[in-house]
Amino acid sequence: MNNERIDVNTTKSNRPGLAGVIESILRKFKTFGFLFALAPIALLYIIAMGLSFTPGVMLYQFVSQATQTAPFVLHSIALGLSLAAGFFAYGITLIFVVPAINKILPLKVRPHRTSWFSISVLPWYYHNALTYLVRYTFLEFITPTPLNKLFFQMMGMKVGKGTMINTTNISDPCLIELGDYVTVGGSATLIAHYGMKGMLVIDKLIIEDNVTIGLRASLFGDVRVGKGATVKPNEVLLPKTRIPEFKKDPEAA
pLDDT digits (tens, 9 = 90+) for 39-92: 899 999 999 999 999 999 999 999 999 999 999 999 999 999 999 999 999 999
Q: Give the dihedral of Cα atoms 230, 236, 238, 241; nearest 10 deg.
A: -20
Q: Quote the pLDDT of residue 26.
A: 77
Q: What is the pLDDT of residue 114?
A: 85
Asked whether residue 4 is domain-assigned, the answer is: no
Are 222 and 239 in contact by the 8 Å Cβ rule? The answer is yes
Mean pLDDT of 111-122: 85
Report yes or no on 128 lying in a domain. Answer: yes
Point out which residues pair with 205 in neighbouring strands.
Answer: 176, 223
The pLDDT assigned to 3 comes to 60
What per-residue confidence (pLDDT) applies to 19?
72
Backbone Cα Rg of the chain: 22
pLDDT of residue 12: 75
d(CA 196, CA 216): 23
Pair (125, 156) in one structural domain: no
Q: Say yes or no to pLDDT of 5 above 80.
A: no
Distance CA 134, CA 169 (A): 12
CATH number of the domain enclosing 222: 2.160.10.10
Please state whether the predicted TM-score (pTM) of the whole model is above 0.85. yes
Segment 188-240, tens digit of pLDDT: 999 999 988 888 999 999 999 999 999 999 999 999 999 999 999 999 999 99
Strand partners, 218: 189, 236
Among candidate residues 186, 188, 179, 180, the one with its CA nearest the CA of residue 224: 179
Q: Look at residues 104, 137, 170 and tell me which one is the last residue of a structural domain.
A: 137
State whether 98 and 128 are in the same domain. Answer: yes
Query: Is residue 139 very low, low, confident or very high in pLDDT (cuts 50, 70, 90)?
Result: very high
> What pLDDT score was predicted for residue 32?
79
